[in-house]
């Protein structure tokens, strides 16, 4: 019998709802939706937490120039080593 909290509520405590939805859209394969709601929106807001997903979405639709530009932004410097590795992986897969 489980006496602690389940894993999903634990994840939701750490991840804001809009970031969670971005992850769901990405892993569902809705890359254009991720792009539309971030880089192509009227007021783009890309946090360090979502940058690997945005880079992955751009890579998977062939917008590698935009990926290269994002890797030059100040937000890139705020990423953890794991997030940078994830973003580089998506970039390589998208080539």
The tens digit of pLDDT for each residue in 28-37 reads: 888 888 899 8
For the segment 79-95, what is each residue's pLDDT rounded down to a tens digit?
999 999 989 998 998 87
- pLDDT for residue 68: 93
- pLDDT for residue 64: 93
Q: What DSSP assignment string belongs to 52-74? A: HHHHHHHHHTT-HHHHHHHTTSH
- Which residue has better confidence, 18 or 83? 83
pTM of the entire predicted model: 0.73
Query: Which H or E run includes 91?
Result: helix 81-94
Contacts 24+ apart (CB under 8 A), 92-95: 93/56, 93/59, 93/60, 94/56, 94/58, 94/59, 94/60, 94/62, 94/64, 94/67, 95/59, 95/64
- Calculate mean pLDDT across residues 52-71: 92
């Amino acid at each position: 019998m489980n006496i602690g909290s389940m894993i999903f509520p634990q994840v939701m405590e750490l991840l804001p709802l809009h970031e969670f939805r971005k992850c769901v859209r990405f892993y569902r394969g809705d890359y254009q939706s991720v792009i539309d709601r971030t880089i192509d929106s009227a007021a783009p807001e890309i946090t360090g937490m979502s940058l690997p997903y945005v880079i992955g979405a751009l890579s998977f639709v062939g917008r590698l120039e935009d990926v290269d530009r994002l890797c030059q932004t100040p937000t890139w410097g705020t990423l953890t080593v794991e997030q940078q590795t994830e973003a580089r992986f998506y970039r390589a897969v998208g080539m």
